[in-house]
Amino acid sequence: MTNFLTLVPCLTIFDGMSKDFSYYTSDKHKIKITVYGDLTRTQPAVILAHGFKGFKDWGFFPVAARKISESGLTVITFNFSHNGIGENTNEFTDFAKFAANTYSREVDEIIEISEILKNGFFEGFIPSGIALIGHSRGGAVSLLASAVVKPLCIITWAAISNFHRYSERQKEEWRTNGFIKTTNLRTGQDFEMNLSFLEDIEKNSAVKLNIKKAVQNINIPYLIIHGEEDIPVKIAEAEKLYNWADKNLTKLEIIEKAGHTFNINHPFEKSNPAFEKLLELTIPFLKTHLKVR
């Protein structure tokens, strides 16, 4: 892989509770990163990945990151370079990049972030160990990246188990038009996704984007958390991940009366029992397997 540390300097902004960094990937695309927790001492780190139409400052991500960091962990949140968020950190404005995104790009970017983390990019901080957490699509991407990142443990929140989420009719229209449209129900915005997205799935589903194979090869503690009332990603997908996994290392937790985002909307207004349960399951698991006292 590229020697990431030679690529660009970082821009740092400190707000007293977190620090913001800018990093340019090996193919020169900007990733905005927020780090929560202590960078002055050696402690484990967690890389937290958002999902489809998500971003690092969406809803529960800043709250979850702060809560996790308070347990003695450093938490890395970030925007995938092609998630559609530009300079405005709370609005989708970069539709061209969103259209050009692929699953393979996101896998590569998690790996790249783990490499710069291990090499002291964040003010010289070197973690004593790494964990991965991913929500929805970010969960699947984290699973795929884990073989290279080599985390000490992994958690998926409402993760998908299958990238083939489009009908044959949709794929036919996609190939005919060169793109497919998707709507952000929260904002009402329409997004296009280029044909390269579909081609990436079809080209790489056997190896690089094989979620089943990735889960079967995981030999670290794995926690699967899913909402009982998740509509976009049904419980069956969590059960499929669990069935593929090593039962001696894996635990499946279903949170009652919880939806896909654990009953949190954007912007975050207040907590709720489903989100609190998510944290109650997540934080002890991380502390145990990252050996936080």
DSSP-derived pairing of the beta strands 74-78 and 45-49: parallel
- The whole-number pLDDT of residue 83 equals 98
- The whole-number pLDDT of residue 6 equals 33
Q: Are 31 and 81 in contact (CB under 8 A)?
A: yes
Pick the CATH number of 4-289 from 3.40.50.1820, 3.40.50.1000, 2.40.37.10, 3.30.750.24: 3.40.50.1820
Give the per-residue SS3 of the chain.
CCCHHHCCCCEEEECCCEEEEEEECCCCCEEEEEEECCCCCCCCEEEEECCCCCCCCCCCHHHHHHHHHCCCCEEEEECCCCCCECCCCCCECCHHHHHHCCHHHHHHHHHHHHHHHHCCCCCCCCCCCEEEEEECHHHHHHHHHHHHHCCCEEEEECCCCCCCCCCHHHHHHHHHHCEEEEECCCCCCEEEEEHHHHHHHHHHCCCCCCHHHHHHCCCCCEEEEEECCCCCCCHHHHHHHHHHCCCCCEEEEEECCCCCCCCCCCCCCCCCHHHHHHHHHHHHHHHHHCCCC
- The whole-number pLDDT of residue 95 equals 97
Angle in degrees, 0-180, between the axes of helices 195-204 and 103-118, rounded to the nearest 10: 70
Extract the tokens encoding 64. 């979850």
CA distance 117 to 46: 10
Q: Are 242 and 27 in contact (CB under 8 A)?
A: no
* Partner residues linked to 226 by β-bridges: 254
* Partner residues linked to 22 by β-bridges: 11, 32
- The whole-number pLDDT of residue 1 equals 36
Write the burial class of residue 220 (CB in 10 Å: 0-12 exposed, 13-18 middle, 19+ buried).
middle
Angle, CA of 158, 282 and 81, to the nearest 5°:
55
CA distance 193 to 183: 11
Angle in degrees, 0-180, between the axes of helices 137-149 and 103-118, rounded to the nearest 10: 50
- The whole-number pLDDT of residue 3 equals 35
pLDDT tens by residue, the chain, 293 residues: 333 333 333 444 445 589 999 999 999 999 999 999 999 999 999 999 999 999 999 999 999 999 999 999 999 999 999 999 999 999 999 999 999 999 999 999 999 999 999 999 999 999 999 999 999 999 999 999 999 999 999 999 999 999 999 999 999 999 999 999 999 988 999 999 999 999 999 999 999 999 999 999 999 999 999 999 999 999 999 999 999 999 999 999 999 999 999 999 999 999 999 999 999 999 999 999 999 97
Domain residue ranges in the chain: 4-289
